[in-house]
Amino acid sequence: MCGIAGIIGKFEETQLDAMLTSQHHRGPDATAKYFDSGYAALGHNRLAIIDLSTESNQPFIDNTGRYVVVFNGEIYNYIEIKEILKNQYAFKTESDTEVLLAAFIIYGKSFLEKLNGMFSFAIWDNQEKRLFAARDRFGVKPFHYNLSNDTLCFSSEIKALHAAGIEKKTNEKVWASYFAFGSYGMPDETFWSGISQLPGGHYLEFDNKKLTITKWYNFESEVAKQPKNLTFEEAKKQYSVLLKDSINLRFRADVSVGFNVSGGLDSSILLALVNLQEDNSKINAYTFYTNNADYDELPWVEKMIAETQNPLKKVLLLAEEIPALSQKIDWQQDEPFGGIPTLAYAKIFEQARKDGVLVLLDGQGMDEQWAGYDYYTQNNDAIIQGVQDSPYKTKMLSDSFLQKAEKPIYPKPFEDEVLNKQYRDLFYTKIPRALRFNDRISMTYSTELREPFLDHRLVEFAFSLPLDYKIKNGISKYILREIASEYFVNDLVFAPKRPLQTPQREWLATDLKEWVNNCFIEIETGVHGNWFNKEDLQEELKLYFEGNIQSSFHIWQCISYSQMLKK
């Protein structure tokens, strides 16, 4: 897990230096640059995870000197690919970076389909003077870019593009849609004007000052290729095999690996399969808590861990930490993030880094592939679990600003409506924003996050199965619960989903009331104060402080805005 940066076209070396400095936290182990005079500048911040030798530092140049790659992520099946290529390419390192570059040289663009991993990378061809860049299937690793005056700049983080001199100007349509509909933008959008992101499953080519973007991953066709008419037991067995292989692949590292755990079903499966690894007694588990019995999952976590005996690192988050921690994470995120649960999660990575655990596994992705949210079977367009009243308070917004909002319309490629909701969450809403939040907070503390449940083989297979394999007698994620029951007792496996993780609603209304109030004052006096109807803004805050706290999303939206726009 690293940081990449580059400028194709006109550039000054100081621009690349500024970009690399701004995202140094992504890769503190080595920083290096490559220049093709008059054409390209590439930079890399390295967090060494596989093959720790300096020979694997980047930018990495192939044996002929023609191709140069900067790469962020991991290719989990690099050993298998290397075995196939060993008679066609003379490898000089043990890195997955060199395997990635060799596969591109030998197979061309089609090599992307052979990769099992999380990645964003750029390959410069200094003979043809063209750039090829790509992002993994689900967009686990970021790729942001700006094209202006025939020059392409790209980086892992938005702040690096601003550091290169690109104007920091708000994308008002995205901001307005965020407040009005809770949207974080479409896959190619960001909250900043002039800065786009390469969508997951797409590649980019920049040749002779012309930019083209192509979709390389066709999820729907891959789902259609899955085996048909499997019995429940056959599906359960096949999915279990894929699960175990996915976990095994993600333990490939030359540094210590740990995992994050909560009290839910997904974590119980992760915990069980992690403990099939050799010498599992030394694999650290991490969880957070807030000393609030209404929200903390610690009792469930401790009950599960008691059965596996992993070392458990418990990370406490207190209300008084929130203002300072929020300011730090706001700077790292570059865009609005998910609230206090994200801050709690950030503290886990901070602790892991202190412990020398540089890779953490996480349970993201199960709800989306197994229809785990209550709204999947409801006749509405909800994207938030367990909230009845609308969390979006549009009357806070001025008429002129609200008119800039666009309600997002998502494609529906499947005949089944539940599948379409899962597809929306996987490619447009829940997973893209969670991956962004999590990438930024793991990188804040120079640690790598791996998502074994987002192995594309798992997601494609789960999508292809009948709905009654996913939801049975009102019980969601049924196959997963059957798998987990082989390892844990039923009161853990069949416990209902707990959608709320921290006392955010209560803290914002009580412990953090003064801070929240100050944030709202900053909104009214800020540079974009005309975005808001100030009387209604204060009325919503007053109602919240008086006890209308079913949802705190609109309050957090305002806090996040005030923290980010004052910078």
Where in the sequence numbering do the catalytic residues fall?
2
Question: What is the rounded CA–CA span in Å between residue 257 and residue 263?
Answer: 20
Phi, psi of 4 (to 5 degrees): -120, 150
CB 331 within 8 A of CB 567: yes
Residue 255 identity: V
The number of beta carbons lying within 10 Å of the beta carbon of residue 357 is: 21
Question: What is the rounded CA–CA span in Å between residue 129 and residue 66?
Answer: 10
Question: What is the rounded CA–CA span in Å between residue 423 and residue 419?
Answer: 6
Rg (CA), the chain: 23
Q: Is 468 annotated as a binding residue?
A: no
Q: At what angle do helices 78-85 and 96-107 cross, to 10 degrees?
A: 50
Give the number of residues written for the chain. 567
Is residue 249 within a helix (H) or strand (E), and if so which, with residue range? helix 232-249
Q: 144: exposed, middle or buried (C-beta count within 10 Å: 0-12, 13-18, 19+)?
A: buried
Question: What is the rounded CA–CA span in Å between residue 461 and residue 348?
Answer: 31
Bond prior to 432 in cis (omega within 30° of 0): no
Residue 192 identity: W
Which residues face 10 on adjacent strands?
none
CB 91 within 8 A of CB 98: yes
The number of beta carbons lying within 10 Å of the beta carbon of residue 171 is: 20
Residues annotated within the binding site are: 96
Q: Which residues are annotated as a binding site for L-glutamine?
A: 96
